[in-house]
């Protein structure tokens, strides 16, 4: 009857690109975001929807919904508990507590918290998946980095069966 959510007005923001510059004042809970010298993150609140790319020079906490891409190469990105990102994400440290559908690049680290749900590919030198997190996709941990190459022959598939081949051979 008094469901606050029903009284909240969702605010869709349709933009081609948003550039973040100055932090808004944040609530205490939002200041818990780790990373860059304890800097308070900019916040996309729970009722905000953004369609388009976000590029920033500071930490960002997403509690709303973002469709597009987020790039914060030198800063930290948190997709909060109520956050939803159907987007490709790039940041120094990416922490996911909500839902992400898209590819995630963490230049230093990616953390999927226990409440996090990710469907997509992750690229980062270090990846932490907490107990209870849900993930479907590929994790690339410096696979393409400089240094020794994969031994010869490992890139050649043993079989190239089509589904039809597999069925016919399995039932034969």
Max intra-chain CA distance, the chain: 68
Q: Which is nearer to another protein, 74 or 126 (CB)?
A: 126
Q: How far is the CB of 98 from another protein (least distance, A)?
A: 17
Q: Which is nearer to another protein, 22 or 149 (CB)?
A: 149
Reading phi first (left if > 0) and then psi (alpha if -120 to 50, else beta), residue 170 is in alpha
Binding of another protein by 150 (CB under 8 A): yes
Q: Which is nearer to another protein, 9 or 162 (CB)?
A: 162
Q: How far is the CB of 99 from another protein (least distance, A)?
A: 16
Q: How far apart are CA 86 and CA 139, in angstroms?
A: 18
For the chain, how far is it from start to end, CA to CA, in angstroms?
62
Q: How far apart are CA 112 and CA 5, in angstroms?
A: 27
Reading phi first (left if > 0) and then psi (alpha if -120 to 50, else beta), residue 168 is in alpha
Of positions 15, 31, 32, 167, contacts another protein by CB under 8 A: 167
Q: Which of residues 71-130 bind another protein (CB under 8 A)?
A: 112, 125-130
Q: Which of residues 8-27 bind another protein (CB under 8 A)?
A: none
- 3-class SS at 36? helix
| Site residues for another protein per CB under 8 A | 112, 125-131, 133-145, 147-151, 153-161, 163, 165-167, 169-171
């Amino acid at each position: 009857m008094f469901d606050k959510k029903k009284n909240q007005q969702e605010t869709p923001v349709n933009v081609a690109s948003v550039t973040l510059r100055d932090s808004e004042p944040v609530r205490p809970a939002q200041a818990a975001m780790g990373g860059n010298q304890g800097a308070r993150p900019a916040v996309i609140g729970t009722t905000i929807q953004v369609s388009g790319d976000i590029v920033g020079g500071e930490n960002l906490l997403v509690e709303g919904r973002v469709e597009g891409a987020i790039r914060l190469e030198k800063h930290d990105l948190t997709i909060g508990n109520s956050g939803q990102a159907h987007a490709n994400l790039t940041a120094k440290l990416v922490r996911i507590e909500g839902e992400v559908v898209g590819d995630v690049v963490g230049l230093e680290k990616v953390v999927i918290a226990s409440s996090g749900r990710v469907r997509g590919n992750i690229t980062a030198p270090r990846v932490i998946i907490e107990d209870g997190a849900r993930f479907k996709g590929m994790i690339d941990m410096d696979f393409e980095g400089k240094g020794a190459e994969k031994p010869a022959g490992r890139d050649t598939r043993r079989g190239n069966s089509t589904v039809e081949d597999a069925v016919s051979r399995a039932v034969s």
